[in-house]
Structure 1
Amino acid sequence: MADLSQKDWTKQLEEDNNSVVLDVRTQEEVDLGIIPNALHIDIYRGQGFIDEVDRLDKTKNYYVYCKAGGRSAQACAVMNQLGFANTYNLVGGFSEWEGDVAS
């Protein structure tokens, strides 16, 4: 797992053709806006989160975010334990996001 600033996270994501953006916030938070094309899996689903994440393609690079960066860091740690080699945590999360937002 790597903690990346929004600048580094965005730059690396733009250059990565094997990437998946993963939003681990609650549905209520997602309803307020989401980074375009992000996959949403709520980390608060517990075992359901682990089961759903474990079905994802482990050869991809995952750019993970939540509201402030705490839950996404936890998600990256869980994903690393499940065998994901490349996970990138967005420091500051969606609350500090300055890029595009979809509804």
Structure 2
Amino acid sequence: MSIFGTLFGTSKEKSDKIEILDQAEFSAAIAGKKVQLIDVRTPNEYGSGHIKNAVNVDLFNATGFEKYCKKMSKDEPVYLYCRSGARSQRAAHKLVGMGFEKIYDLKGGYMRWR
């Protein structure tokens, strides 16, 4: 279990399925590959700048978020980010609950990306 999991008591199952990557690791993981890359910010935030090839699926639109994610492959890794990291963590836990096997979350969100 990670230090984070030890300190904050996250369940082993969730810590095994959700991995937080720093900007360099996240960038290397998505570079030149066709991946499931989701920006969970609002359309306005997405419009002001986003990671290339990211699909905007607003977490605040719960129905739309679930509907979109149900069409995604649960066996392929999902790469998530938001503005600072809080919303993407909520989205990651929601995806685990929906049966997704591996979720990568950008540490610090889009603010750290730029």
Is the TM value for this pair above 0.5? yes
Whole-angstrom distance in 1 between the partners of 2:87 and 2:77:
18
* RMSD of Structure 2 on Structure 1 (CA): 1.5
Deviates more, 1:4-13 or 1:24-33: 4-13
* Structure 2 gaps, min length 5: 1-17
Report the structure number with the largest CA radius of gyration: 2
More helix per residue: 2
TM-score, reference length from structure 1: 0.85
Higher relative contact order (CA 8 A, sep 6+): 1
- Equivalent pairs, count: 97
* Structure 1 gaps, min length 5: 99-103
Give 4+ residue runs of structure 1 displaced > 4 Å after superposition: none
- Alignment partner for residue 73 of structure 1, among 67, 89, 92? 89
In the TM superposition, what whole-angstrom CA distance separates every residue of 1:59-103 from its partner, at most 9, and x where no partner exists? Answer: 2211100000110111111111111111101011111213xxxxx
Find the counterpart in structure 1 of residue 30 from structure 2. Answer: 13
TM-score, reference length from structure 2: 0.77
